[in-house]
Chains A and B, each alone.
Chain A
């Protein structure tokens, strides 16, 4: 009964396509069985909405008169430094960049009120941003200084390009120490006071396609409220971790690099994020359609929260020291109840990833496909999977002398 992506696209064009979310497919498959469900359903939509720090955008500002060469100079958007090591008026703004005068953690814990993630949110929101730059003069680019307002609608390109997003599973962070700690996983209370997690679980894209059988380079996606594409595996893509019998990774595993036109995105789906004591970030909304090409692909989309296990990691000592120690395992059904029992203690849980927003994205993408506004693409290259032999490397430090 195998289907092809072009057959599914034909159905989309005719308005005959059957699309359900990764939550809805669980009940359908339970009632009707995998075989019938795979025949009936054409696409399953998955989604996630969480802080994704390896994110950023490149912009082409257009040339000034006289011309300035930003490459090799220094430039700032709303006082946040941008990367200028590109051509004359191309810049890259990274999600975690901070203004030079931000006190960081000098007054601990730092507040990190504004940084790269907020610049991207403001840019997408259509706000004017202050652009300042200092550079050196050349015969062809004589100008040394530029100060102006810029607006997304006036610049040539604004492209969101995130090297690592949508992590397939993640750690559950706890604090075994005697003092409160401020981490990228949130505020962690001492003596196992709370546990923080960050995944959409059963709705999360790569947890619904654990072996990357349909999501690959070229897959068209919902990105930040607009349309984007998977362009590569994400950095630290690590498919060869321990997996459950049904193939679900038991730790952070795969990830994707994504790209899309920032001009078509929305600040509702790209949010500047301030993580107390840690830094700034960008919370990104991603939705990925999974074409039900066969029963196997459908089977993977029926994964439930109770079948997805995450490692519990101590962020007071083990994580900062780089010890790869897992002190327990818990599944997302337990985490989503708000309390877990761990080491004889009832520990309250909370998430950094918004399940409510992920659900909203899965619904939006479902409707785009049903209404014929969004056709599926055939990947042009598969993401490295469990047979890739990839082993995540730690940095080998070598003496400079």
Chain B
């Protein structure tokens, strides 16, 4: 089993297509939708965690590309701006996955992109606006 967190961008003509359904049924993938934003006049964006065996995942991704869906790793959409972080730890108790954590000896905060589910709770909790999500 492999897991990929990606942001899918759908062009205008695709936003009414049941693409997630096909990913699940035709490619046997587990699709977990983390965030979705579809504006009929613009493009659609879907933040998803897709899991399955490597072959199915690759085929599923090829299917999306053939349709004209652009695929971008989730990590590009979430940024922890280290230069703005004061290592206060205000984000820690609110982060549900432990993507933001502190090394207790040094008391310095770090961010593990792979653990982040882009819930956005930390954005409200950070007094220095050191976390940005562009979605």
Contacts and interface: CB of A to CB of B under 8 A. Distances in A.
B125 interface: yes
A273 B90 contact: no
Given A338-B102, A354-B88, A356-B106, A349 B93 contact: yes
Interface in B47-64: none
Contact of A196 (B86, B90, B106, B107): B90
Contacts of A109: 124
A276 B88 contact: no
Contact of A350 (B90, B124, B129): B90
Interface string B117-135: 0000100110111000000
B129 A113 contact: yes
Interface of B: 86-94, 102, 104, 106-108, 121, 124-125, 127-129
A202 interface: no
A274 B108 CA distance: 20
A350 B92 contact: yes
Given A273-B127, A273-B128, A276-B124, A356 B87 contact: yes
B92 A338 contact: yes
Listed residue (A187, A274, A349) with the most chain B CB atoms within 10 angstroms of its CB: A187
B93 A352 contact: no
A351 B86 contact: no
Contact of B127 (A51, A195, A355): A51
A350 B93 contact: yes
A225 to B, nearest CB: 13
Contacts of A359: 107
A187 B124 contact: yes
Contacts of A46: none
Q: Which 6 A-B pairs have the closest CB atoms?
A: A194-B93, A350-B93, A356-B87, A348-B93, A354-B88, A355-B107
B94 to A, nearest CB: 6
A353 B88 contact: yes
Contact of A275 (B91, B104, B127): B127
Contact of B86 (A49, A275, A338, A350): A49
A109 B104 CA distance: 31
A193 B125 CA distance: 14
B90 A186 contact: yes
Contacts of B86: 49, 271, 283, 354, 356-357
Nearest to B91: A350
Given A274-B127, A357-B88, 9 more contacts: A273-B127, A338-B104, A348-B92, A350-B92, A351-B88, A351-B90, A354-B86, A354-B88, A357-B86
A337 interface: yes
Given A283-B86, A350-B90, A351-B89, A356 B108 contact: yes
24 contacts: A109-B124, A186-B125, A194-B93, A196-B93, A273-B128, A274-B129, A276-B124, A276-B125, A277-B124, A281-B127, A337-B104, A338-B93, A338-B102, A349-B93, A350-B90, A350-B92, A350-B93, A350-B94, A351-B89, A353-B88, A355-B89, A356-B87, A356-B107, A357-B88
Nearest to B102: A338
B85 to A, nearest CB: 9
Interface string A36-74: 000000000000011100000000000000000000000
Contacts of A186: 90, 125, 127
